Amino acid sequence: MAHQAQLGFQDAASPVMEELLHLHDHAMMVVFLISAFILYIITLMITTTLTHTGTMDAQLVETVWTILPAIILVLIALPSLRILYLMDEVNNPHLTVKAVGHQWYWSYEYTDYEDLMFDAYMTPTQDLAPGALRLLEVDHHMVVPTNSPTRMLISAEDVLHSWALPSLGIKTDAVPGRLNQTTFTATRPGLFYGQCSEICGSNHSFMPIVVEASTTNDFENWSLTMLQT
């Protein structure tokens, strides 16, 4: 969960998010080295009055500063393409959940179970339990088992929405008439919070998402309880 004045990402709770954090650190290191080198060159140009006439018309220098940026872009692009492939790959999911965005709440349907569906509304401030998060808590959590690949089928009923959970590395648009697909694997138990990240109307920021990752036994007990109610 993010906190005030946080400058970095949330702690990763899925393998994809861990890869995204590694890519971010890799790209930032490249940017830091380039910035330091450019600052060093600018400092030299400002602090010295000497002119090296050999570099005024040097084909080798022009070749280097053309090829070197291309190599740097490739070093950034290849890991990025690898992660894009991993994010779109869906292999034998253990559980499939369909999320449908409404104005302004989410409805969930566990397609592997019969009649296991519910709506998730934001909990009003006056009904919050002690320690609950304002504007982020919902009345029904989407529960998934840990270490189990979960496929999300995401759509919308009225306008554009976006199902986003930063700690799981997920951000998928919910488009009316279209069924988008994504997958994630929660690597540890816990509550993971997100929100609709699409400007879908005046209350778009009040469409919280709460995914509760639990053990397989706890998930089975929860599903039995939901089916009986």
Q: What is the pLDDT of residue 149?
A: 94
Range 8-31 average pLDDT = 92
Q: CATH top-level class for 95-227?
A: mainly beta
Band (pLDDT 50/70/90 cuts) for residue 211 is very high
pLDDT in tens, 113-144: 888 999 999 999 898 988 889 889 999 999 99
Q: What is the pLDDT of residue 207?
A: 92
Range 181-185 average pLDDT = 93
Band (pLDDT 50/70/90 cuts) for residue 56 is low
Are 182 and 17 spatial neighbours (Cβ–Cβ below 8 Å)? no
Q: Tell me which residue has tokens 């397609």.
A: 111
Does pTM top 0.75 for this prediction?
yes
Query: What are the residue ranges spanned by the domains of the chain?
Result: 15-50+57-88, 95-227
Residue of 54 and 109 predicted with greater confidence: 109
Q: Which CATH architecture has domain 15-50+57-88?
A: Orthogonal Bundle (1.10)
